[in-house]
Every structure is written in C-alpha cells, then in structure tokens.
Structure 1
Amino acid sequence: MDHLRYSGLSFETQRTAFLDIVSADPLIDETLSRVRALGLPDWLVVSGALYNSVWNHLTGKPSGYGIKDVDLFYFDESDLSYEAEDSVIARAAPVFADLSLPVEIRNQARVHLWYPSKFGRSCPRYTSSSDSLGYFASQTHAVGVRFDMDGQLDLVAPFGLDDIFSFRITPNRLMDNQQTHETKGARAKENWPEISVVPW
C-alpha cells in the first residue's frame, strides 16, 4: 500500500509532493520549459500527463507510461476564430516536435463554440483556463500547473489532490459527462490496477 502514502494527508503536504513529483519527471519538466518559451496567455499544462506521472512515480512505472499526450490549455478572447487557434498550434509544433509525446493545444476561450457539435450538448463559456478545469468529467482529472511570475511552479486543483493520491477517480456531475468519466476510468484501470472508479 506504499503507493497510498500521501492519501488523506493535508492539502499542503499533497501539494508539495505533487509539485515535487511532476517537476522531477523528465517529460513534464521538458514540456513546461518549452511551454514557457511560447509565451501563451493564461496557459496551463493539465490533466493526464500530470496525474498519470504521479501514479507512475508512486507505482514504480517509467516516465511517460500510459500517457497518450500532453494537454496544453491557453485562454485568449481576442480572436475566437478557428484560424487563430490553428496558427498557435502551428507556431507551437516545431517547439514540441521532438518531444516523446504529442502536445494537444486548445484555446479555452472558444470551447463553447465547438463543444455542442462534438458532444451533442452545450457547455458554458469559460472565463479562464483554470475555470475550465471545474467542468471536467472527473474531479480527479481537474489539475493543472504553470509557472508563476517568479518562475515557481503554480498548481491549479479546484477539487484538491486527495483523489489523485488515493488512486480514486471521482465523477464531477456538473455536466452530463458520464460516458467520458466511465471510459477514462476504465482505461486508467487497465494501466494502473490500483485505481478505483467511483460510479457516476
């Protein structure tokens, strides 16, 4: 049960452990340094690459195990066109070209424009990259990091970190995302059998 050694501890203890783990992971460390150089507004590296790296560390698996890609959010309301987002993706492509995993970049200011056609239901108009985390299908996945003005790693975790350190995927019922919660939970359990998935 050593993989649960941070489960149930205070948020500050978990925060320190989380940031220590992700900053020491070579994939995350390299990604963060490159993202910083891009200078995107209100950026956050979010979700799977982070909590999967914590699970890998705590279960003795190698860096990058079970991770499909790195999700990078930014927030720019100045131009909500597809073309503007696409130009950011194109500008970032050579920056991340030789990373071991693809980097998926999305402007959170325009998610509400394409979400209904992709998922068949509406989503709110987000107010920031951090705001969008609160609507993830699973609370466990709602985590992001970025560098603050002083160059320190900053954490965004609207639901805390105990689910991550408890290897527990907990639903976020704010939106009708049951299928996403269940699909991601099942996939995670294949890679990390220690995980429990809380039913929707």
Structure 2
Amino acid sequence: MSDGLPAAALLADTYLPGQLFAMVRADTRLMACLRAARSLELPDWYLAAGCIRNLVWDRLHGYAEPSGAQDIDLVYFDPASPPEHDLDLEQQLNRAYPAGWEVVNQAHVHRWYRGPLGDPTTQLKSTLDGLSRWPEQATCIGLRLDAKDVLKLAAPCGLEDLFTLRWRRNPRVADNATVLRRAEEKRVAARWPRVLIGD
C-alpha cells in the first residue's frame, strides 16, 4: 500500500498514518536519514523508535526545534550477517551523514537482550516481530523509504499512543515499573510535559 501499512500492522485509525507521513516529509533531517539508510539496501530495514516518536511529540508540543538528542535507530533482519557488521554500518552511515546512528540486526537480538526481569528473549522472526516487543507502545514504530520514495510504515501496536501522547507499556513484554523507570531515564516528563506516563 502506498504510504501505508503492511498487512501485518493495519490500523483502524487510517488518518493517523497520513499525519505521520506529513510530519516526516516536512523534516529534512529525517528524510535525509531515510535516504541514507535506503542506500545500504539492507533486508527488512526500518528507521524506528525514538527518532520517530521524538519528531511527533516535538511537533505535537509545538517545538520549532528538536527538544533533545535525536539519535537514529536503524533496524533490519539478516541472519546471514555477522553481529559485528552492525558497527561497520554505523561507521559507514556516520561518515556519509553524521546523525548518531545505532544499527541493530534483529536476527541476533536474542543473543544479548534480556527482558525486564532478566529473562532472555526468543529468537525473532522479522524486524516487525522485533518492533512488536519493544517496551512502550508509542515506540513500536518503524518507517522506511522505498525506491520510489514511498514511505512504508510498520506499527504493530498502532499509532494511538504516539498521537495521544501516551507513554505506557507494551503489555506483551513490559511491566509498568520498567516503563516508569525508562521514562525517568529519558526525561520524558521534562521534555514533553503533556505526555501521560504509565497505565
């Protein structure tokens, strides 16, 4: 679907993707990052998490400039690629377009990630599977730009929390204490005072 959702993550609120795409297309930095990521031709890739959430929440708060650090999370899925390749990709991206890149191959996350209680995660099946397991629903979002400059969205938890300014847990993986701790670490209340934190 053009500038729309994959079948695995269709939303009832179909107007929200359009709002998101408009914000992204108006942001020259994020569009440049999308083009830089696309140039790597990685399988099943998305820019994800904070770089999207931060943009939307800054806009919804009326900020003319970014409210804080704007790291760029690039995720992809390639079981054949060695884990150390992620660092090579980060260095390549930062040389081409310095932006504080963090690159993570979701095919290897199960080797090092531990959940809120220290429990290991099961092996992921795709990037979308990885997105669906991130702690906050407003962060479970990925965007990519195809060869025709069409935006593609993955939103396994929907976009409602993103646009209603909710920082709450993804019930599939996180408890409320984890989400509250992460909100403090990321200074959510100070950075975006209209955000409602917790369940």
What TM-score do the two structures reach when normalised by structure 1? 0.83
Matched positions, count? 187
Deviation readout 1:175-198 (Å, 9 max, x if unpaired): 245454113333211101000012
Supply the distance in 1 between the matched residues of 2:122 and 2:45 (Cα, whole angstroms).
Answer: 19
Superposed CA RMSD in Å reads 2.3
Which residue number in structure 2 is paired with residue 132 of structure 1? 130
Which residue number in structure 2 is paired with residue 73 of structure 1? 75
CA contact (8 A) 2:176 2:198 kept: no
| 2:162 counterpart letter in structure 1 | I
Q: What secondary structure, in the 3-state scheme, does the structure 2 residue paired with 1:115 have?
A: coil
1:83 aligns with 2:103: no
> Superposed, which structure 2 residues align to 1:1-200 within 5 Å?
11-79=13-81, 81-97=82-98, 99=99, 102-116=100-114, 120-148=118-146, 150-176=148-174, 178-186=176-184, 187-199=187-199
Q: What secondary structure, in the 3-state scheme, does the structure 1 residue paired with 2:67 have?
A: coil
Name structure 2 gaps, 5 residues minimum: 1-11
CA contact (8 A) 1:27 1:63 kept: no
Supply the distance in 2 between the matched residues of 1:167 and 1:125 (Cα, whole angstroms).
Answer: 31
What TM-score do the two structures reach when normalised by structure 2? 0.84
Instruction: Among all aligned residue pairs of Structure 1 and Structure 2, give the percentage whose two residues are the same amino acid.
Output: 29
Name structure 1 gaps, 5 residues minimum: 1-9
Supply the distance in 2 between the matched residues of 1:36 and 1:147 (Cα, whole angstroms).
Answer: 7
Q: Where do 4+ consecutive residues of structure 1 move more than 6 Å?
A: none
C-alpha change, 1:127 and 1:104, in structure 2 (3 Å) is same
Supply the distance in 2 between the matched residues of 1:177 and 1:117 (Cα, whole angstroms).
Answer: 10
Supply the distance in 1 between the matched residues of 2:145 and 2:125 (Cα, whole angstroms).
Answer: 20
Q: What secondary structure, in the 3-state scheme, does the structure 2 residue paired with 1:146 have?
A: strand
Supply the distance in 1 between the matched residues of 2:197 and 2:57 (Cα, whole angstroms).
Answer: 15
CA contact (8 A) 1:49 1:67 kept: no
Supply the distance in 1 between the matched residues of 2:70 and 2:175 (Cα, whole angstroms).
Answer: 20
Between 110-119 and 45-54, the greater mean CA deviation after superposition: 110-119
Supply the distance in 1 between the matched residues of 2:107 and 2:115 (Cα, whole angstroms).
Answer: 16
Post-superposition shift, 1:152?
0.4
Supply the distance in 1 between the matched residues of 2:16 and 2:97 (Cα, whole angstroms).
Answer: 30
Supply the distance in 2 between the matched residues of 1:77 and 1:185 (Cα, whole angstroms).
Answer: 32
If each structure's helix is expressed as a fraction of its own residues, which one has the higher value?
Answer: 1
Post-superposition shift, 1:48?
0.9
Post-superposition shift, 1:63?
3.9
